[in-house]
Amino acid sequence: MTQRLIVIGGDAGGMAAASQARRRRGRDDLEIVAFDRGHFTSYSACGIPYWISGVVPERDQLIARDPATFRDDFAIDVRLRTEVTGIDLERREVVAREVDGGRQVRERFDTLVYATGAVPVQPSWATGTAGIFGMQTLDDGAALREWLNGDPAPRRAVVVGGGYIGVEMAEAMIECGLSVTLVEQAEQPMSTVDPDMAALVVEAIRGLGVEVRTGTTVTGVEERDGRVSAVVTPDGPLPADVVVLGLGVRPNTALAEAAGLPLGPTGGIRVDRRMRVPGVSDVWAAGDCVETLHLVSGMPVHIPLGTHANKQGRVAGINIGGGYATFPGVIGTSVTKVCDLEVGRTGLRERDATAAGFEFVTVIVESTSRAGYYPGAQPMMVKLIAERPTGRLLGAQIVGRSEAAKRIDALAVALWNGMTVDDMTGLDLGYAPPFSPVWDPVLIAARKAVDTLAGSGR
């Protein structure tokens, strides 16, 4: 009898799982149906700010595989604009509703993949007024593009929240010709890095012409003719023709919770190393809706990134298809940019290391991206956090210009493999004047950390 796989979610995690399952099981052996409430499959949500700004000219450049490709090449029945509204584990059915027509259907499954992603954190004041946008899906990006191209065209933007999305969208709004105010409740944006490194990012944001308001909470909005006209703060209203939310995301687990699937302390779905949901048979989960293990702290974390979602979906699909694969966990590596300033991080921040119970030292070095005499050399700051007394690398951050951020990859590999800063001083990194000083900034930082641990760096 043909088995039936239902996938809830048509982006990275869900479609990676569906594709891998299909590669291992024939069309007569496994029927695959994928539901998504949006208009698109397998797209780059991380690329949305660059489409908004015009750096990426066409929306479809962000789409890796469209529904027709999945139908024709993978025999996956993709049903867009169809929202799954319930999961009945006893009857092994999902309940789905067509978004445009409202028709409701029930579909049986033998195996289920839950890959609903994440949803933007949305305060109560952000609903019911036109011109306020979360920025999580390609549909969100399309709605914002339509608003920016509307009549009257917006002139003033307020971005609420200063994480990766907030910072990237502030730059995109500047590129679109709007005046931009970035409002952050904390004392400075970019809480993904430590305050000393984030201060460099704030300087770059202001250099773009963005007004940065820190320590400020948005408590409401003002509207005119049903459209947003300002955001309300304790210091008075800030005029706005468009508001973009950059307050982060949370796992989209409402359906899972209602069905009785187990959630972890982060709010994400609990899964094992093979991406199975424990306690229920033949139910798997992947992507931004799950929590995973941080390999440095040993704690459960929710880190929504397309890289993780694709890997997790691949692991789930291989296992569903009869193979064997595991997802080991994450170390929190990420990069972004503000204009020409690049920001990278991996592992633990200082507050993470403290919360995990580590004793540690930190060092910061300033170096250059190339040999100082070579044209185009740019400064960069490298920060390392190392365990005391072992010297094991716990985390790293880099802020700089040309060729800075991708150096975080070398540090991520060192971290992944449990290297000490002493080990790192001997790394055989590439050198030529157009690419690095004779002592790469990574090596200089490692040497300083060794000295600090030995007590000679005071």
Model pLDDT for residues 12-57, shown as the tens digit of each residue: 999 999 999 999 998 999 999 999 999 999 999 999 999 999 999 9
Average the pLDDT over 222-247 and give the result: 95
Instruction: Read off the pLDDT of residues 281-328 as tens digits, 9 standing for 90 and up.
Output: 999 999 999 999 999 999 999 999 999 999 999 999 999 999 999 999
Q: List the structure tokens of 250.
A: 């949370």
Q: How confident is the model at residue 128 (pLDDT cuts 50, 70, 90)?
A: confident
Q: How confident is the model at residue 403 (pLDDT cuts 50, 70, 90)?
A: confident
Instruction: Read off the pLDDT of residues 367-389 as tens digits, 9 standing for 90 and up.
Output: 999 999 999 999 999 999 999 99
**How much is the pTM?**
0.93
Q: List the structure tokens of 111.
A: 């195996």
117: nearest Cα among 50, 63, 41: 41
Instruction: Read off the pLDDT of residues 83-127 as tens digits, 9 standing for 90 and up.
Output: 999 999 999 999 999 999 999 999 999 999 999 999 989 999 998
Q: Are strands 30-36 and 3-8 parallel, antiparallel or unpaired?
A: parallel
Instruction: Read off the pLDDT of residues 426-443 as tens digits, 9 standing for 90 and up.
Output: 999 999 999 999 999 999
Q: Which residues form the catalytic set?
A: 46
What is the DSSP code (8-state) at residue 271? -
What is the DSSP code (8-state) at residue 439? S
Determine the pLDDT at residue 265: 97
Share of the chain above pLDDT 70, in %: 99
Separation between Cα atoms, residue 409 and residue 345, nearest integer Å = 9
**Which residues, other chains included, contact 65 with Cβ-Cβ below 8 Å and sequence gap of 6+?**
15, 41, 42
Helix (H) or strand (E) holding 7: strand 3-8
Instruction: Read off the pLDDT of residues 236-282 as tens digits, 9 standing for 90 and up.
Output: 999 999 999 999 999 999 999 999 999 999 999 999 999 999 999 99
Q: Are 197 and 381 in contact (CB under 8 A)?
A: yes
CA distances from 251 to 118, 150, 264, 324, 376 (A): 4, 32, 11, 26, 42
Q: List the structure tokens of 388.
A: 């005391």
- Length of the chain, please? 458
Q: Are 372 and 364 in contact (CB under 8 A)?
A: no
Q: How confident is the model at residue 457 (pLDDT cuts 50, 70, 90)?
A: very low
Q: Helix or strand or coil: residue 79?
A: strand
Q: Are 371 and 335 in contact (CB under 8 A)?
A: no
CA distances from 49 to 59, 166, 326, 342 (A): 11, 10, 32, 16
Determine the pLDDT at residue 437: 94
Average the pLDDT over 180-190 and give the result: 92
Separation between Cα atoms, residue 278 and residue 407, nearest integer Å = 38
Neighbours of 423 (CB within 10 A): 16
Q: How confident is the model at residue 458 (pLDDT cuts 50, 70, 90)?
A: very low
Separation between Cα atoms, residue 243 and residue 178, nearest integer Å = 12
Q: List the structure tokens of 86.
A: 């319930």
Checking if the pLDDT of 456 tops 50, the result is: no
First-residue to last-residue Cα distance in the chain: 71
Instruction: Read off the pLDDT of residues 187-215 as tens digits, 9 standing for 90 and up.
Output: 888 999 999 999 999 999 999 999 999 99
Average the pLDDT over 212-231 and give the result: 94
> Crossing angle, helix 195-207 and helix 164-175, to 10 degrees?
10
Query: Residue 218 — φ and ψ, nearest 5°?
Result: -85, 125
Determine the pLDDT at residue 455: 86
